[in-house]
Amino acid sequence: MTSLTIRRPLGRTAVRHDPVTIAFHWITAFLVLAQFASAHVWDLLEKGTPLRIDLIMMHLAFGILLAVTMVVRIGWRLLKRDRLPSAVHGLQKLASSAVHMVLYALLAGQVAVGLMFSWSTGKPLPFFDLFAIPVPVFINPSFRPLLAALHNDIGWGIIAVAGLHAVAALMHHYAFGDEVLNRMLPGSPKRILGSASGSRK
């Protein structure tokens, strides 16, 4: 019988990011997946149907939430002083930093392109039925096809890089048996996923 347990040397405690950083990470992940899924689901629906309209409205509102989340998340990252030391070194640290920088750049670009695409209609950007953000600059409607294609391509790029990021985290956890994934998991240490290098009974 195989059991998955956490193997740590005596006296060692799990070191994790602060709750705010963890929350921003998973909120961003949720919003990205929701945006990607909603855009591809409404493409399968007939234009003008209530579900398609609801998905588009949700996509617009979640886009605003993603923009706010990214601004606050970057601000928190810049202002936070007690950062965790790097969990990896050498080439792994370089690769990890590169992936994070690419993800931040793609997310920022996606938010900017999404806002420009929405404002190219000349209409305020609605946030559910609560309020609408007015158009701050004129975006020529002739740019809409280009903006739509760019928005789609960046979306796939985000999914690809985020997928690589997730696979790397799982490899660190289950293949290397280190604390990389645990650092970003919420909950008490007892709830943290066990390592694949656990004991066998």
d(CA 115, CA 68): 12
Give the model confidence (pLDDT) of 98-114 as tens digits.
988 999 999 999 999 99
Residue 87 has a pLDDT of: 65
> Is residue 199's pLDDT more than 70?
no
Q: What is the pTM of this model?
A: 0.80
Which band of pLDDT confidence, cut at 50, 70 and 90, is reported for residue 200?
very low
Mean pLDDT of all residues in 25-43? 95
- Residues 15-44 as b or e (16 or more Cβ within 10 Å = b): ebbeeebbebeeebeebbeebbebeeebee
Write the pLDDT tens digit of every residue in 133-144.
999 999 999 999
